[in-house]
Amino acid sequence: MKLENSLNILAPISGKVIELTAVNDPVFSQKMMGDGFGIIPSGISVVSPVTGTVTFVAETKHAIGLTTSDGAEILVHMGLDTVELKGVPFSIRVKVNDKVTAGHTIATMNLTAITDAGKDPTVVVAVTNTDTYLKNIQVNTGEITAGQVAANVTSEVTDNTVEHSSQSYQQMAKQIINNVGGKENINSLIHCITRIRFYLKNDNLPDDNAIRNLDGVINIARSGDQYQVVIGSSVTEVYDAVIDELGPNFFNNKPIIPTESTTIPGKIRYAFNSFIGVLTGSMIPIIGLLGGSGILKGILGALCGYGLLEKSSGTYLLFSAIADSLFYFLPIVLGFTAAKKLGANPITIAVVGGVLTYPTLIAASNESIQLTVFRIPAHMMSYTSSVFPIIFAAWIGSYLEKWLKKIIPSVVRSIFLPIIEVILLSLLIYVGVGPIMMYLSKLLSLGIESIYFVNPALTGFLVSGLYQVLVIFGLHWAIIPIVVNDLAISGHSYLNAMISVTMVAQGAAALAVALKARDKKYRDLSWAATISAFCGVTEPAIYGITLKYKRIFFLSNLGSAIGGFLTGFFKVDAYALSGSLIGFPAFINPSLGVTSNLLGYVIAHITTLIITFIMIMIWGYSPDEDINPVLN
């Protein structure tokens, strides 16, 4: 027997409603936890999106579960990956078994504390029993006030429900423990609302395929030192079963979360992961704007090249300023984001960035004037568009501020601490490490070009063929600053051109799956991943499609390699941080307009798309693998 019902889901917080596929977390964006929506919050008060009963409150306060009278199971997840914050930014106003009405305040969020910790504050609302409850959902995207209707759900509930027994959870726990390498390989574990997070002694021991194919396991993911098993709404039961299997003495003298390793290889890995984390946290907030600025510069170059726009016109001057300003003043913006990631004062470090881009000092550097500061020779040079000096300043500033707080009396601290910090950091860069870092940046840029020109086609084949493998491990964030540095030093980047074709290959793979898939849910996911990849974001395609099938991932990377070979063969160059199909204006030379470089871009990218698409259609995918992919 089927029953239909309509349910309004209110916005739990004021902000901007976005589609769930746009949420920056593969577990939610791929709807592993069910359908729903996200909200980029502007308010701090969290209200209940439905009338019902509180069935779950996370120990770390970042998530609340509710059940309505007609059986809808609603999850309110506050921030992404905020389980690591141990509840600090959240204040919960309800407890399990409380009855709440829609619009009733259930929690508050400290957005500043979340963003300062480097976490995404996006609030996710998901119908966790989508498979058995949800028939259709209509999301109202855009700005919204807490308590207004954000989505309307049409339910279709049957009386045939399937529940896991405690015995099945116990069996699943045994299988998970065995396949992560046994008890002896587990240092510790925690769980959030969707995943059990293992800290393992040896990350190479887990059998990913065996765990992924267990009944009740949605997927696996690796993040930093965590091995994450994505369970879904039953995570608490499975976690408890795992704890029971490990035994009461397992956690004796064991830390909940492992600290920095004491071994040399461990320290190196810890330092490298920390470095990648800083680069990621610093660059992510501005990547989209950098890409958009690059596209605008390409369009201006094309218009001028065809004689449709004069460089002396007011229109060109205004839009050129819009396109160039972020890149020119990059030390200011990057100083702000890097300081937030490192725990320094963002405004203070941004001011240091302003010193690095101060017009008078730039003019002095252009005139090669030899200046002294306190009789110490200071090499004046332009730091506009630079990356590494300001990140270094933010890192030093995070320690300098703590030291200054100890020696400056609190009565005058607010006045003297910021300006003293700006003075010391500016001196450090101009008199000390700045010239060295800029010299090393130039060497890095020249080194990349030197390697590239030994054999451009072979370089493109290798770089493009391997780049998306780096994305899986998060190591591509070590490459992005190199590209930005390349653009700052040389005004162009061959490396960015090689990266661009890999995005098209992932999009072509997802497109082939979208056309062949019979399962509607998987087909919709594939279409969303296709559009995302062609717009330059490949994670939905990788985590939702290609990584589920070894054949697709291998063939898509082979398509990338072929595209990289053509990119190198035609010496395709990029003049801005943008790529894939939507980023074609980045391959138009801003000075010369449309040239053979754009033709090389078209040949390499379209060939990549066609070859990858054909390979996946013929060899990469069978619709019978929609639900339970065969990893072969």
| Identity at 235, one-letter amino acid code | V
The β-bridge partners of 7 are 153
| Residue 112 to residue 131: CA distance in whole angstroms | 36
d(C-alpha 40, C-alpha 231), whole Å: 25
Q: Are 559 and 615 a contacting pair, CB within 8 Å? A: yes
DSSP 430: I
Query: What residue type is 264 in one-letter code?
Result: I
- Kindly name the residue from 77, 476, 492, 605 that is annotated as catalytic: 77
Backbone angles phi, psi at 102, to 5 degrees: -60, 130
d(CA 441, CA 482): 9
Q: Is 77 a catalytic residue?
A: yes
CA 5 vs CA 33, 55, 133, 158, 623: distances in Å: 21, 21, 10, 12, 32
In sequence order, the 6+-apart residues with CB closer than 8 A to the CB of 326 are 286, 289, 290, 293, 333
* Cα dihedral across residues 383, 387, 392, 393: positive or negative: positive
Interatomic CA distance for residues 120 and 35, integer angstroms: 20
11 burial (CB, 10 Å; 0-12 / 13-18 / 19+) is buried
| CA–centroid distance for 62 within its chain | 20
Q: Which amino acid belongs to residue 503?
A: M
- 3-state secondary structure (DSSP) of residue 622: coil
- Give how far Cα 148 sits from Cα of 76, 245, 411, 577, Å: 15, 45, 46, 38
State which amino acid sits at residue 233: S
Annotate 210-265 with three-state secondary structure.
HHHCCCCCCEEEEECCEEEEECCCCHHHHHHHHHHHHCCCCCCCCCCCCCCCCCHH
Residues annotated as catalytic are 77
